[in-house]
Every structure is written in C-alpha cells, then in structure tokens.
Amino acid sequence: MAGAKAYQGALAGKIAQLTAQQQQIIAQKLGSLNLPTSLGAGPLICTDDRDPKYNPGFSPAFAFYTYGIPHRVGMNQYGAYGRAKSGQDYKVILNAYFQNSSLECRDMPAQITVDGFGAKDFEDYVKGVVNKEMGADIPEALKAQAVAVRSYALAVTNNAQSSICATQSCQVYSDARRGSANDAVDATGVQACGGGKAQVLVSEGQPIKAWFASTSGGYTFTSADVWGGSTSWTKRLRDTSGNVGSFSDLQATAYDKESPCFYAAQGWRKQSPYNNSAWLKSEEVADIANVILLVRKNPSAACFVYQTDKSPPAPNPAKGCSQTGNWSAGEVKQKLGSQALSAATSVEVTGVDWGSGRTTQIKVNGIPFDGNEFKDWFNLRAPANIQIVGPLFNVERK
C-alpha cells in the first residue's frame, strides 16, 4: 500500500521514527478504508460529519479531517471538472497537471487485452474507461480524461503488447458507454488526428503514465513524493484559482472543492456511542498525545503502543520490534508520569505550509507536535480504521 507511506518523512531530534512493523499496520488500516490508492476514483465513501444536526453521542468530540484522498499524483479529476467549469480547455487542464510533456498525435494499436474482458478495440477501451472514471458531463474535463487514460494505457502495456487490468490497480473499465464520454474520446482521437491516430501525452519520445486521482484536496504531488523513484512529468501544484493563506481560502478557491472527498474524516466505529463516525473522545486524543510524549522520552516504548482496540502484533526483530505488547491508555499515562494528559481540552492546527499543502504543527492542550509526527502516531494508535489519510489535515470539534 504505497499510499499509506506517501507522506511519512524522516523525523529528527526527539521525534521517534515508526518501526517497519508499525508502518505495515498503518498500511493495513488504510487498506481497510477501501480508498483508491492507484489510478481511479472508484466509489467515493466520504461523508461530512460536521452537519450541525449530527450527534456523535458524546462531547467534547474531535474529528480529524483530511483534504483529499490518496494518491494526489497527476490529474485531479474533480480539479479538471472545476477547471473546465471555469472555462479552461482540455489542453490547459492537462498542462496544469503535467509538466515536461507534449500533446502529440500518435498511431494507436488496433486492440488492447483487458483482464477479464478479453481483446478490445483500443479506442473503444478508452471510451469504457472514461465512462467509468469520470461521471461529470463537462466536455473539456472528459477530453482531458480521455488523453490521460490513453497515455497511461500505452505506457503501462508497452503500446498494448501486454494486457491491462480493469480495476483501480490500473484503470477502472466496464463495457458501459455514454455519449458524452464517447464524444470526448473521438474529439481527442480521430477528429483531432485523423484515422488510426489519437492524442497522447509524450515525454522523451514515450507516452507517459498519466496518473489521475479523484480528489487532491487543493494540492498535487510528484510520483516521487508518494511512491519514490522519479519521473519528470508529475508536479507539485497548488490547485486553486487564487492565493491561499487559510483553510477558508483553500475551501473557497480549490478547483476540486465540489468533491465529497475534498474535506472529510476517514474511518468509523459502528458500536455505540460512536454512531458509525470518525469522532474521538477527548480522552482518546489525549492518549495519542501521551503515546508521542512517551516515545519521545523512551523510544523503546514504540513497540508497545498500537491500536487500543486490537491485539498487539507478534514480535518481529526484522521489522524493528523483538518484543511487543499493547499498553492501555492508563498504562501509557502511568509510564509517562506527571507529563501525562488526562483529557484533550484544546486541539488545534497551528502550522500549515500553504505552498506545499502540509500541516506542519498541531497543539494538544498547548503542547506542540510536528504535523507528520502527529499524523503517523494517530494512524497507528487511533481505534478502528480511523485515519488521517494525507499531509494536509485540520481538526473539528463538537
């Protein structure tokens, strides 16, 4: 699960690094959310529990809201939709999300083999993906999607020499069609280039892996930021129509602000009193802060703090923990001593890098924590499958 490790930077000084075993657990938690971690949007499960009528069942309650969902590389699909609505054509949209590449007419293979579907006419395959991957009937956004789909398929199959899967691990495909998607593919294919050719994004003479994702939360990242390695055509982008200096600015100007996953808490607990929500009690937030303070004080404690509602993993020296356990909130408080917090009475984001889209500091009861440090330990310790799923997050209170 590359998306789960996308933003785990190296921590210095008193900030203890997560062990490999802990990173694996975070990846498993992220996987339980069924978020799209490869190309397409898939089913969007994001909900907004900030509705004034919503009652998490206790107070005070805190929820951690992330901007966007993995992976935030390449074209922001809801961003393309917002850009098209603002009057940008598909060439401008593609240029916004990809760099060091050019739009060229290329000869298309006659067919491509799609896992589970067999051999398909190549351009008809593109129509099936565009229909499935982008629901908005905005012509210029659909055209940008068509070029991205075509480019990615050519790149990963070596010009259709190998097959391609039909899931989020590649591009989501179905045999369903709709007129607006078909028109967009034709407009960037035969109509733009003539018979047998179509428009493709090319870098250094080769079609690019033109990644796309549903919602970037106002910021895109390079493939190296998320998966490692290097590519020349992905870019870091503040995907907004104006300057950003606050969360309200971002929510007003982001091109993908209409996505249900633009600003949402991820995860849930079914049992009472949590009502299928991602809200945490003040004592639970205090426990996460206490875990960080304890590991700062005693790094070896890292192998004894996991989700409070799960059994600890088996010892695994190769992954950094020759012994493991799962200390309760009470045990963590006892070991921390006078520094321990009993409840979180004040939780606020106090630092954001608005240029790159990262929360840099959060304070709990006035105690500062590095944004990435807090996110990583939150994702390890928070119960159920509750997760902060990206680098830019905020906290809500009821």
pLDDT for 98 beyond 90: yes
Determine contact, residues 71/80, Cβ cutoff 8 Å: no
The pLDDT of residue 135: 85
User: In this structure, how many other beta carbons lie within 10 angstroms of the beta carbon of residue 273?
Assistant: 13
So what's the pLDDT on residue 55? 81
Q: What is the mean pLDDT of residues 178-182?
A: 97
Mean pLDDT of 158-165: 97
Cα(190)–Cα(118) distance, integer angstroms:
24
Give the residue with greater pLDDT, 189 vs 7: 189
**Residue extents of the structural domains in the chain:** 2-70+268-397, 75-210
Q: What is the mean pLDDT of residues 286-314?
A: 94
Report in angstroms the alpha-carbon separations of 58 from 52, 110, 268: 14, 60, 15
Output the CA angle 305-72-93, nearest 5 degrees: 170
| Mean per-residue pLDDT of the chain | 90
> Distance of CA 156 to CAs 159, 163, 186, 198, 211, Å?
8, 9, 22, 17, 11
pLDDT in tens, 41-92: 455 567 677 777 778 889 999 999 999 988 899 999 999 999 999 999 999 9
With cut-offs at 50, 70 and 90, classify the pLDDT of residue 40.
Answer: low
- Summarised one tens digit per residue, pLDDT across range 235-259 is 999 999 999 999 999 999 999 999 9
Tokens 């104006």 -> residue:
242
pLDDT surpassing 70 at residue 273: yes
State the pLDDT confidence band at 38, using cuts at 50, 70 and 90: low
**Cβ atoms 390, 378 nearer than 8 A:** no
Counting Cα atoms < 13 Å in the Cβ hemisphere of 90 gives 20
Virtual torsion, Cα 72, 76, 78, 79, nearest 10 deg: 120
Q: What is the mean pLDDT of residues 354-372?
A: 97
Q: What pLDDT is stored for residue 270 in this prediction?
A: 85
Contact 277, 63 (CB under 8 A): yes
The DSSP secondary-structure symbol of 39 reads S
What is residue 6's predicted lDDT score, i.e. its pLDDT?
35
pTM recorded for the entire structure: 0.91
Q: List Cβ<8 Å contacts ≥24 apart for 193-198.
A: 193/105, 193/106, 194/105, 196/107, 196/108, 197/105, 197/106, 197/107, 197/108, 198/105, 198/106, 198/108, 198/123, 198/126, 198/150
Of the candidate ranges 7-21, 147-161, 277-291, 359-373, the one whose mean pLDDT is the lowest:
7-21
Please report, for residues 105, 129, 148, 235, the alpha-carbon distance to residue 257 in angstroms, rounded to integers and kept in the order given: 33, 24, 21, 20
- Asked whether 133 and 89 are in contact (CB, 8 A), the reply is no
pLDDT above 90 as % of the chain: 75
Q: Give the integer Cα–Cα distance in Å for 69 and 233.
A: 21
CA distance 250 to 246: 6
